[in-house]
Amino acid sequence: MSLHPDTVAVHSGRDDLNALGVHALPIDLSTTNPLPDIERGGDAYEAMATGGRPIENGSLVYQRLWNPTVARFEEALATMEHAEASVAFSSGMAAMTAVILAMTSATGKRHVVAVRPLYGGTDHLLGSGLLGTEVTFCHPSEVGVSIRPETGLVIMETPANPTLELVDIAAVAAAAGGVPVVVDNTFATPILQNPLDLGAAMSLHSATKYLGGHGDVIAGVVACSEEHAEALRRVRAVTGGLLHPLGAYLLHRGLTTLPVRIRQQQANAQRIVQWLIDRPEVDEVFYPGLDGDPQGILDRQMRGTGAMIAMRMRGGYAAASSVASAAELFTHAVSLGGVDSLIQHPAALTHRPVPADARPDADVLRLSIGLEDADDLIADLARAFAVVETLQETKSQRI
């Protein structure tokens, strides 16, 4: 039976609840589990420590290897991403680290092709060499010529952080040949985009953002094939990057309202974008589809434009800094995708460790649009813009 994504979001990952005799999602906090006997306990440990699933009549042994609450969330997210499996981690960066280790160190192919722009943390991790990889940063059109025999992974993000560039997933996957492509799908979520349907091997989320949606859990998750899931679970078991069961419970609960939240946040964002376009304080607005989508990427791979906006302030860094500080309904804070609206300066914060030639411009602000009334958010930005104008006039009079 083919179900609407709204229905999938509510019902996925709950197949075992009837047998358990419960309706609400249970939380299993056990850190250790009884062993049936030495042999089966040992077999169960080996199966899960090497990336496999629990064995029949075995034991879950230890939470670092497997947890039922985490597994339900993983099943739900995999269903929403049209994937065979997914693997959850303690943060988005833990998830990205596991992907890189599984596809490079574990395979001996230590070269990575990274399509810029990327989230600042990912860019910084790759550039640091901390994981023993060699990285080629490139434009989407350069992926094919950047691939080497020793390339183990291609990393991309679309819409890209922070200026919302769209990258053609199918084109990058084709250019990568047989090299696995991981797509950071945080901004789009499974509601608006499914990278695996377009040729990607893995779809990665900072689940802290839209999947959780309430700013109260940090997590990461990767949707992929069972083969890749085994490799990722092996890394997770060895490195200890597990997601706590309480976090998994909050994320699974958050998935049920994800479609509704995305639709309303997107509607708010579209209203705000139209208002920003005509503001004299703003030089440029970055939002999917504003350029008319000349390459047709938006139409081919997304089912909406999302709720993230970036804008270039006419007054440069000083104006950007003043607006971020003057906003009231927009909380001046990093992160995104929650029910409340946020404003932040990428160059000074999330992208600060990125090399200067790849860092966002200092006059750019990023907005994460929440569930507040759109008119109230517009009025808040108008007040912040007015504060900047007043400061500039005062400064001009003093000069």
3-state SS, 277-333, equals HCCCCEEEEECCCCCCCCCCHHHHHCCCCCCEEEEEECCHHHHHHHHHHHCCCCEEC
What pLDDT shows up at residue 357?
Answer: 73
Residue in this structure with the two tokens 């912040």, named with its chain if needed: 384
Active site annotation includes 233? no
Q: For the chain, what is the mean pLDDT?
A: 95
Active-site residue, 209 included: yes
- Of 28, 40, 64, 300, the catalytic one is 64
Q: Which residue among the candidates 119, 210, 249, 287 is catalytic per the annotation?
A: 119
Which own/partner pairs from 16-20 qualify as long-range (CB within 8 Å, at least 24 positions apart)?
A: 16/72
Q: Of the residues 123, 184, 363, 380, which is catalytic? A: 184
How far apart, in whole angstroms, are the C-alpha atoms of residue 88 and residue 61?
18
Q: Which amino acid is at 332?
A: H
Q: Is 234 a catalytic residue?
A: no
* Confidence tier at 358 by pLDDT (50, 70, 90): low
DSSP letter for 132, please.
S
pLDDT for position 395: 55
pLDDT digits (tens, 9 = 90+) for 84-129: 999 999 999 999 999 999 999 989 999 999 999 999 999 999 999 9
% the chain with pLDDT above 70: 97
Amino acid 90: pLDDT: 98
DSSP string, 140-198: GGGHHHH--TTEEEEEEESSPTTT-----HHHHHHHHTTS-EEEE-TTTHHHH--GGGG
Min mean pLDDT across 59-63, 129-133, 300-304, 395-399 is at: 395-399
Angstrom CA distances, 360 to 54, 120, 122, 155, 209, stand at 45, 10, 15, 19, 21
Q: Is 116 a catalytic residue?
A: no
Could you tell me which CATH number the domain at 259-398 has?
3.90.1150.10
pLDDT at 342 over 90: yes
Is there a contact between 209 and 335 (Cβ–Cβ < 8 Å)?
yes
pLDDT at 398 over 70: no
Is pTM, for the whole model, over 0.85? yes
So where are the chain's domains? 259-398
